Structure 1
Amino acid sequence: MKQIIQNFKSGVLSIEDVPQPTLRPQGVLVRNHYSLISLGTEGSTIKTAQRNILGKALERPDLVRKVINIANRDGLMTAFQITKRNLETSLPLGYSCAGTVIDVGSDISDIKIGDRLACGGGGYANHAEVVYVPRNLCVKLPDKVDFRQAAFVTIGAIAIQGVRHANVSLGEVIAVIGQGLIGLLTNQILHAAGCRVIGIDLDPRKIEIARLFDIDDVILRNDPNLFGRINLLTNGIGVDKVIITAATRSSDPVILAGDILRKGGRVVSVGKVGMNIPRETYVYKELQFLTSMSYGPGRYDPNYEEYGIDYPISYVRWTENRNMEAFVDFLKKGSIRVEPLITHEFPIEQATQAYEIINDGGQKGNTPVGILLKYNSEKMVVPSRIAINEKISRDPLSHKVRLGIIGAGNFASNVLIPILARSNRIDFRAITTAQGLNALSIGKKYQFGYCAESVEQIFSDSKIDAVMIFTRHDTHSSLVSSALEAGKFVYVEKPLAVNSQYLDQVVAAYDSKQGNGRVMVGFNRRFSSFMPKIKGFFSNRSQQMVITYLVNAGFQPRNKWIHDPIEGGGRIVGEVCHFVDVMQYITGANPVSVWSHTIAGNNREDIINVDNATLSISFSDGSIGTIIYASNGDKSFPKERIEVFCDSSIAVLDDFRSLKLIRDGRVKKISGKFGQDKGFENEMEAFINTAIDNNPVPVCFESYILTTKVTFGALESQKNGNLIKIYT
């Protein structure tokens, strides 16, 4: 399918053939008929991407702060590599569209194939022939509303939310500063609500467009009689409310708002403007200043947007989805007219011309306001793989791993795939991801053979020897099982499964191969160069070990997907498995029991009880280990510290950067050659060796099962307070 993308490093816009997005249970696939270009948001994104590196930094200081934090925590080289890879990312554009449903997720009961929808949401309602949209980001269309009108739904919802924040009432005089698309829709919404409306803008061309609608007055910002005209309309009182829909770094809209408001008035900022508020004016008049959050409540909440968990209407009357519905209702009744706002329309194949108009500000023709992209709705978008570099010889005797990759989030794309790319023994055959654009971007960068439209294409490809799975946690078990059934060597990021039922599924698939199944789980720490040194230090031990593993994990907000019991499994299952595996490696023994306890008594947003826990593990050789997992510490403190006590000796590993081996009063210090060494390079080397030479997997499958069961047992122990048996 075709999609508009922009390279964030070069700023180049292009129309690419991209794999169709994957259908997920909580949403629908929509074949677009129209999508709307946002001159403000997309124009800003385009200009930022076209700047040099310094310009990008000045434009996005929030991203600069993130880079500084990474450098402080993980070193300058890591920060540089992550920044470089992020700059090379291709960005999808667009967040407002309308089309027809072509497939429905398993959790959706009120939408069917063939339904007509209006859709919103950055990263979802893109300029693409087919989009995946979660349930709460789409609304059904009545017969009286066509796709051209409905494509304005996101902008309309933003305008409606700004009006709601203004809390307007019948007969009030409202000034709207900024007569772009949002401002022009805001004018009409206010008029429909029984308000008197004054539109203000710097651009004479936008003033003329605003005059096409039934509002009380439209005034140029530099009109010398601006205040006189407002006084005339308000009988010298001043306007009741001001809604700012302009986009500028200047604080002039905020200053002007204070000057034209009556005492006790209210300002609502919808647009991104300078916010140097003149204190004397605002204090003297007792003015209120509010900001409006995009489409409404639910925005930026993954539970609402991604998982479809609605807010109760008795508590939250107007969510972003209900604002979208309200806008569609305005269109149905004719209270809002968008046809006069449509200044340009292009087929998707000519989309770059639309962005040229945005860049020149309409100097070469009509002033751009509403720019629509049209899609050939009669054309059947058939899922198919996208060839990238299939001309490369894919010889099965070349002693290379012919690799298929499923999923490629930040960790995989920033850490593991670059490591694999440095090897001359990897043949990147195929890649597929939930968002086809991500697959295309990575596929082009590392010269994969093709982008697959589905995991089934990868499993059925006889030219693929090994599969690497980097998807979210809940899919791991089913994908591993399918890969085993297809006869592939499987590497899967941790955890192996998120619950006992899913784990049993993997075990059954593995057992069905009767010893021919091969699975490797991404427990990288045991491959660190420090690990053999610790094990060798205690190689002749005559005693059981006592191990403590301190983890300064850092806080993750409740709305992160990792906390979802189904999709993420929680941090004990998703991360603590790493530390259990390290203890298995050091002791060389199986875990036999676990007891776990969490902090108690908190009911706050800034702390999650289960993310602050201790695990006490007993091993088959009599050794014991304690994991202290804390998310309420200071991030500047190192993340991990391992202490091993045995035979009057001690080993201390600090954050995989330095190791101390202590015996008979003497201390041997060992530092990593290249800073932190968590074993990623060695782990990938082991994976390649296993795949090419058909060697045994470096970690036995039973060890993976036991590690996973320890995390399940820890959660069970936290609930009932009992010691949980793992292995006998």
Structure 2
Amino acid sequence: MKQVAQNYKSGELVVLDAPAPTCRPGGVLVRTMYSLISTGTELMKVSEARLSLIGKARARPDQVKKVLDSVAQQGPLAAYQKAMSKLDSYTPLGYSLCGVVVEVGEGVLDLSVGDIVAAAGNEFALHSELNWVPVNLCVRVPDGVPPEQAAFSTVGAIAMQGVRRAEPQLGEVACVIGLGLIGQLVVRLLVAAGVKVVGLDTVAARCRMAEKAGALACASPTAEGVRLVEEVARDNSQGLGCDHVFLAAGGPSNEPVEVAVRLARDRGRVIDIGKTRLDLPWNDYYEKELDVRFSRSYGPGRYDDRYELEGIDYPGGYVRWTERRNLASFLDLVAGGQLDLSALVSSVHDVDEATQVYARLGDGTLEGIGHLLHYPEGDRAAAVDARPSPSALPRATHTVAARRRATGDRLRVGFIGAGSYATSMLLPHLAAQEGVELASVATTRSLSAINAQRKFGFERVSTRADDVLSDPAVDAVFVVTRHHSHAEFVCRALETGKAVFVEKPLALDATQLQRVVDTVERTGNDRLMVGFNRRFAPLVAELTGHLRGSRGPLSMRYLVNAGGMDPKNWYLDPAEGSRFVGEGGHFVDTLSAVVGQDPVAVHSSVHGDDVHSLLVYPDGSTGSIAYVTTGSPRFPKETLDVSGAGANARLDNFRKLSVWGTGRETTRRAWTADKGQRREIAAFVDAVTGGGDMPISIESLLATTRATLAIGGGTSGEVLSP
């Protein structure tokens, strides 16, 4: 299928041939008819992508801070490689469309195949022939609404939420500063609500367009223009001024904020809808006691994964206007004739022309505010009231002439998942291995697979894990998906006779772990590796070398400065297990590698996301893990101290190892934090191709997982037996 995407590093904008998404539970698969180009948000993103690295840093200081924190914890090289990998990837464009439903996911009850729908979301309603859209970001289009106008629904919901935030009343006066697409829609909504409207914009044609839509007067934000608008507002408000001022302009100028205070009446409201500079003139805003309000996107529910992804609605008695209800309300106004959007459609172009359209918008040769991309296949599907069965949909597998390698005794690898960790920490090392052939990659999002293919040369890309699991030519499967799916994919891959590398955790609970055990026993396939990479780190190997042959138990203390996490991060989703269950296996396995044994008992105390545990080993050695989330993000993430057998050692974040023995202190330093991924991958490839023992025994993998689950559950004194 065709999809518009941009490389944020180079600024390249292309129409890709991408694999079609699959229809997942909780949403519908939509074949796009028209998608709307945002001349505000999207063009700003496109412009940022064409800046130099310094320019990008200035435009996104929030991302710069994240990189600096990463440098402090991981070292400059690792932080740079991770940042460049993320930048040098195709990202999607688009967030507002109209299309026809061609498949309905499990749990969706109010939409059917053949329905014409409007869809929203910058991760779902993309400039793409097919899109999977969660049910709460998708509404049926009423009869009589042209699909070209329905494609404006997302932007209409943004404008509607801004108007709702102002709480306007009949007969009041409002000024809209910035008469681009959002501003034009705000004008129309206010007029429909019985509000008298004035406006300001630097483009005369936009002012005339707003006046034709019902605005009393619009002018350029010059001294004379502001004076004219101010006079009209006062004449229509008994001399009071504007009850509401909407900031729908963007850019670095502070002029909109300064003009707003002049036009607003005493105790009026200023509503920020666009991304404009907000250096409030304190005295002026204080003297008028202005109420400054922000409008967040499409409405309540936005940025809430439980609402948007899980489909959990807010009760109407508590939240009257959610983002889905705003979308439906906007379409109802269009259907009822209160809103006429025909004048906003400036041009329509086939999706094949997207690159040229964005170029013309960027250089100003394509004027207007509402530009649509057209998808002919969507039109045909709608015209015949398309009701294809899932089997009739285009296959999600996409084959291209990638960098092919010679076949023979080579190890053919398939990947399920290709997110940030896979593409920055696993695939670079795997692609560099002699004798490895990257056969296929499957990801939920189409562009993730395309990016992996582009960087590492996979022969095939897909959005269906089955295409990797059922391929008889694939020898080994890497599972690098979200935690809840690990055990499922591991079992299915083992059942096909393939070797499996799965990122931690192996399982989220005892039931999942037992299923893995049962599968290994039933199939006899124990060719399993879990991504416990730290035991392969060069400095950990050197540490264990110093302690090898020592007599007597060891005392080990592992401090993990895990740090805080965005509350919306999927890691904190209860369905993915606790934070410690998600990554704690790393630390348990490292201690087991140092002592050379698996733990037999644990004692654990859990307070929120913080975990303190003690592991006991057969020879009397002990290992404590302090997993702390409240420390400084600039402090190193991991510190390991080992004492015993007449020696002490300290490992500082995989960058420095100090050993004290009978002689003087020995210190080894590394320029960057090498956590062992390269050696881990090499060991797995050698074991699979050579037929030798797996790098970590199945018994140790299971023991580590049992210990991790016990610690994460706050268990005390449990004997860790099969």
What band does the TM-score fall into relative to the shorter chain?
Answer: over 0.9
2:377 is paired with a residue whose SS is: coil
1:469 matched to 2:479? The reply is yes
Contact 1:166-1:266 at 8 Å conserved across structures = yes
Q: Distance in 2 between matches of 1:524 and 1:672?
A: 19
Match of 2:555 in 1: 546
Change (3 A) 1:268 1:505: same
Displacement of 1:59: 2.2
Distance 1:564 1:78 in 2: 27
Q: Counterparts of 2:15 and 2:278 in 1: how far apart (Å)? A: 37
Deviation at 1:370, TM superposition (A): 4.0
Work out whether residues 181 and 370 of structure 1, in 8 Å CA contact, stay in contact via their aligned partners in 2.
no
Task: Evaluate the alpha carbon distance shift between residue 54 and residue 658 of structure 1 in structure 2; reply closer, same or farther with a 3 A threshold.
Answer: closer
AA aligned opposite 1:395: T
Identify if the C-alpha distance between structure 1 residues 39 and 586 changes in structure 2 by more than 3 Å, giving closer, same or farther.
same
Segment drifting more, 76-85 vs 195-204: 76-85
1:153 to partner: Cα distance: 1.5
1:591 match: secondary structure: coil
Q: Distance in 1 between matches of 2:221 and 2:434?
A: 63
> What SS does structure 2 have at the residue aligned with 1:540?
coil
Equivalent residue, structure 1, for 2:386: none
Work out whether residues 358 and 368 of structure 1, in 8 Å CA contact, stay in contact via their aligned partners in 2. no
- Per the alignment, do residues 393 and 643 of structure 1 end up closer, same or farther by CA in structure 2, a change over 3 Å counting? closer
**Residue 562 of structure 1 pairs with residue 571 of structure 2:** yes
Quick one: which amino acid aligns to residue 690 of structure 1? Answer: A
Greater Cα shift, 672-681 or 341-350: 672-681
Matched, 1:386 2:387: no
Residues 584 and 591, structure 1, Cα contact 8 Å, conserved in 2: yes
Deviations 1:550-596 (A, max 9, x none): 11110123332112222x21212111111111122222222222221
Change (3 A) 1:691 1:670: farther
Q: Output the CA distance in 1 between the equivalents of 2:650 and 2:108.
A: 52
Q: Is residue 147 of structure 2 the alignment partner of residue 147 of structure 1?
A: yes
Counterpart of 1:574 (choices 562, 579, 582) is 582
Q: Is the 8 A contact 2:606 2:713 kept in 1?
A: no
Considering Cα pairs closer than 8 Å and 6+ residues apart, tell me whether 1 or 2 has the greater RCO: 2
Of the three residues 593, 617, 620, the one matched with 1:619 is: 617
CA RMSD, aligned part only? 2.1
CA deviation after TM superposition for structure 1 residue 77, in Å: 1.6
Q: Alpha carbons of 1:505 and 1:334: their partners in 2 closer, same or farther (altered >3 Å)?
A: farther
- The Cα offsets for residues 359-398 of structure 1, whole Å up to 9 and x where unpaired, read as 133x46x52434343342236751142223357243123x
Deviation at 1:322, TM superposition (A): 2.3
1:98/1:501 CA distance change after superposition, 3 Å: farther
Pick aligned residue for 2:519 from 494, 497, 509: 509
**What's the CA shift for 1:234?**
2.8
Relative to structure 1, is the Cα distance of residues 667 and 553 closer, same or farther in structure 2, using a 3 angstrom cutoff? farther
Report how far residue 525 of structure 1 moved: 0.6
Aligned counterpart, 1:447: 457
Query: How many pairs does the alignment contain?
Result: 708
In structure 1, C-alpha distance between the alignment counterparts of 2:158 and 2:452, rounded to whole Å = 33
1:298 corresponds in structure 2 to 301
What TM-score results when the alignment is normalised by the length of structure 2? Answer: 0.94
Deviation at 1:55, TM superposition (A): 2.5
- In structure 2, stretches of 5+ residues that fail to align are 382-391
Partner of 2:684: 687
Q: State the secondary structure of the residue aligned to 2:133.
A: strand
Answer yes or no: is 1:278 the counterpart of 2:252.
no
Code of the aligned partner of 2:196: R
Counterpart position of 2:408: 396
For 2:718 and 2:143, the matched residues in 1 are separated by 59
Deviation by residue 1:181-211 (Cα, 9 ceiling, x = unmatched):
1111111111222211112211011112223
Aligned to 1:723: 717
**Map of 1:137-536 to 2, 5 A cutoff?**
137-222=137-222, 223-224=224-225, 225-361=228-364, 363=365, 366-377=367-378, 378=380, 382-390=394-402, 392-397=404-409, 400-514=410-524, 516-536=525-545
- Does structure 2 retain, via aligned residues, the 8 Å contact 1:177–1:200? yes
C-alpha distance 584-105 of structure 1, shift in aligned 2 (>3 A): farther
Q: Contact 1:22–1:435 (CA<8 Å) still a contact in 2?
A: no
In the alignment, residue 83 of structure 1 is paired with which amino acid? A
> For residue 565 of structure 1, what is the amino acid of its counterpart?
P
Q: Is the 8 A contact 2:218 2:229 kept in 1?
A: no
Q: Which blocks of at least 5 consecutive residues in structure 1 are unaligned? A: 600-608
Residue pair 1:23, 1:103 contacting (<8 A) in 2 also = yes
Cα distance, 1:391–1:276 mapped onto 2, change above 3 Å: closer
- Mapped to 2, the partners of 1:706 and 1:70 lie a distance apart of 31
User: Which is further off, 368-377 or 446-455?
Assistant: 368-377
1:591 paired residue among 596, 599, 614: 599
Contact 1:717 1:724 in 2 (8 A): no
How far apart are 1:293 and its partner, in Å? 1.3
Q: Is contact 2:173-2:233 (8 Å) kept?
A: no
- In structure 1, the residue matched to 2:385 is none
Which amino acid letter does the alignment assign opposite residue 169 of structure 1?
A: Q
Residue 226 of structure 1 deviates from its aligned partner by: 3.4
Name the SS for the 1:383 alignment partner. coil
Write the distance in 2 (CA, Å) between the matches of 1:140 and 1:500.
43
The structure-2 alpha-carbon separation of the partners of 1:540 and 1:352, relative to structure 1 and needing over 3 Å to count, comes to: closer
